[in-house]
Amino acid sequence: MNGFVVVQCGALTTVQDLGRPGYLRYGIPPSGPLDRASFLLANRLVGNADSAAALECTLMGPWLEMRGESVIAVTGADVPVTVNGREVPRWTSLPVSPGDVVKLGVARRGLRAYVAFRGGIDVPLALGSRATYLRGTLGGFQGRQFRDGDQMDLLPPAEGIEPVRARRVRPEMIPSWQDEVEVRVVLGPQAERFTRAGIDAFLGEPYEMTTDSDRMGARLQGPAITHSRGHDLVSDGIPLGGIQVVGDGQPIILLVDRQSTGGYTKLATVCSFDIGKVGQTKPRQRLRFKSLTVPEAHTLLRQEFKRLQEALL
């Protein structure tokens, strides 16, 4: 069957699809890509459904030897990509042949790159999804990150799908991954549990991504955010992008592998269209937060959906 061999696995490479919704109530997070927009565009470049399984590569990508004809696309972080030692462009569809070696280097900007293959990666479904949840050793390839020597199969293209033509992403849709990013949030659900000075500190000063961050949560370091009535509350559900503030006043952004519930007060929630910015922020880079109203966030979400629909040339 068509597929590839992992020659070198990179720093942290996993199989992801759009995730497994509906199981958070049982303690199983949705997982899926941290940078959803880059993931979607990678799949669309090779003619896949949005939900097809692809690779998420953190910081340093893998070396892959192709076992058959395919079409690939690399999006997300600014990583050097070569095929048989020759540098090739990202954000475009690329034909590959048996024996070709695809190599992703170290991310120059951004943190996570995505590699999609025509047809999608063929790994068993786990609760309806191929996404990898590392802490639960669930989904993906044996529930774990790649190791050298792993062999992966690809699914055949879906019936009725036309042969892939050359595609690329519009230049204005390719992110530049700045050293300091603006992340838009909606205050709440427990903003009333914080002092005005604490909220002003959160919105007024940058926070640094720490090395303790992962797919479960982004731990930040910066000005202390003061509570008005303590940092504990009766545990409640945690949304994607919920920003908990623990007792020391430092925020944690909960991400795709987050826990179901938590007992720390949540000052704000990152808008879904900016989760990818958080996922692409390297340790020691900075984020600033900007508050939006719910109607403003809805308007921007509709605009982002339209941009993604019109992103390919």
Q: What are 36's two structure tokens?
A: 């959803």
- Rounded Cα distance, 69 and 92, in Å: 17
The second-level CATH assignment, the architecture, of 180-309 is: Beta Barrel (2.40)
Q: In this predicted structure, what is the pLDDT of residue 202?
A: 97
- Rounded Cα distance, 219 and 41, in Å: 28
Asked if residue 268 has pLDDT above 70, the reply is yes
Return the closest-CA partner of residue 266 out of 204, 208, 185.
Answer: 185
- What is the share, in percent, of the chain residues with pLDDT greater than 70? 97
Segment 160-218, tens digit of pLDDT:
555 567 899 999 999 999 999 999 999 999 999 999 999 999 999 999 999 999 999 99
DSSP 238-307: --TTEEEE-TTS-EEEE-TT--SEEEE-EEEEE-GGGHHHHHTPPTT-EEEEEE--HHHHHHHHHHHHHH
Considering the chain, what is the average pLDDT of its residues?
A: 95
For the chain, the domains span: 3-170, 180-309
Segment 144-153, tens digit of pLDDT:
999 999 999 9
pTM above 0.85, yes or no: yes
Bond preceding residue 189 cis, omega within 30 of 0: yes
Asked if residue 40 has pLDDT above 60, the reply is yes
